[in-house]
């Protein structure tokens, strides 16, 4: 198993598991309300200019800004789709 890394570093098409939220209670609450909590798996669908990205969990897509994506720690769980 590889060491956790920021979601902002994941490439397009990569599936990852959220292992930690490093932004404090506010980020934890916002992510949990969106359904993106520790243990959840997401796939990076699109990288945006400036560091933001679009991820999906099931049929739902989420746009995350660069700052938020950098505070979400993930680990690899699969290869490119």
Q: HEC profile for 11-24? A: CCCCEEEEEEECCC
% of the chain at pLDDT higher than 90:
68
Please state the φ and ψ torsions of residue 79, each to the nearest 5 degrees. -90, 180
Structural domains counted in the chain: 1
Give the Cα separation of 13 and 43 in Å (integer): 6
> How high does pLDDT run on average in the chain?
90
Q: pLDDT tens digits for 35-47? A: 899 999 999 999 9
Residue 72, in any domain of the structure: yes
Residue 81, in any domain of the structure: no
**Sign of dihedral through CA atoms 13, 14, 20, 22?**
negative
pTM of this prediction exceeds 0.75: yes
CATH of the domain at 28: 2.30.30.90
Give the Cα separation of 76 and 46 in Å (integer): 17
Residue 37, in any domain of the structure: yes
- According to the model, what pLDDT value does residue 50 have? 81
As a whole number of angstroms, the longest Cα–Cα distance in the chain is 32
- Domain region containing 13: 5-76
């Amino acid at each position: 198993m590889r060491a956790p890394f920021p979601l902002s570093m994941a490439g397009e098409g990569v599936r990852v598991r959220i292992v930690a939220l490093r932004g404090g209670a506010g980020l934890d609450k916002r992510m949990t309300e969106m359904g993106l909590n520790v243990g959840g798996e997401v796939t990076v669908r699109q990288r945006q200019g400036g560091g933001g990205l679009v991820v999906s969990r099931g049929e739902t897509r989420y746009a995350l800004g660069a700052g938020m994506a950098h505070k979400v720690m993930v680990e690899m769980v699969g290869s490119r789709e």
